[in-house]
Amino acid sequence: MTDDSVELSRRALLRASGAAAGGTAAIGGVGSAAAQEGGGGQIDYSGWFSGVSNFSSTEDHRGEDEVTVEVGVEANQGYFGFGPAAVWVDPDTTVTWEWTGRGNAHNVVAEDDSFTSGSAVAEAGTTYERTFSEAGIHKYYCQPHELNGMKGAIVVGDDVPTVEVEGPSGPVVPESAKLFGVTSGFVMTAVLGLAYFFMKYGGDYGDVE
């Protein structure tokens, strides 16, 4: 093999090594993005939803002008729930509560008495609406069934209190990091093997016996 051919082979090896390094770096970048995604804390309701069976998370309805919450959904050992229990909206969003007609008479009363639907009613199709302009967490309940856990909340805007959620004890290795480690090991082994072969035979592959 000529010197020019050997030089070309060396360049090809360098390009292959660079591509391998770039590929593993790209995988590492994806892992970092995945680790950052979903960071931050959860909305802090200060125990408002303690014992409320139909609350697990806040439904995000930001970007919508109108949102409907059902009154009298199945929850808390009966039809004693708002559905969804907590919604997140933009300022100036109109929330409409609509009665299902189940669970006897219900109403909507703000925890701070800033709004109320009035006396409890049981008729299906009854509605009550309110436009929320002030940012913050607006908690409310059904007066006849507050002790049953019939509570709700309207979260308005982005400036709301949050609380950090503790993860499992000990370090947790993301799946992307595991994949990165395996791929890096495989690529480096392949590159080192190719380099050893090239150095041993000098690129003159036709003379290998």
150-160 confidence digits (pLDDT tens):
999 999 999 99
pLDDT at 199 over 60: yes
Overall size of the chain counted in residues: 209
Pair (140, 184) in one structural domain: no
Provide the b/e sequence for 68-92 (b: ≥16 CB within 10 Å). Answer: ebbbbbebbeebbbbbbbbbbbbee
CA 55/CA 42 separation, integer angstroms: 13
Domain for residue 198, yes or no? yes
CATH number at residue 53: 2.60.40.420
CA 165/CA 25 separation, integer angstroms: 30
5-16 confidence digits (pLDDT tens):
545 455 554 554
CA 121/CA 44 separation, integer angstroms: 31
Pair (27, 66) in one structural domain: no
Pair (111, 178) in one structural domain: no
Range of the domain at 180: 3-38+173-207
The number of distinct structural domains making up the chain is 2
Domain for residue 168, yes or no? no
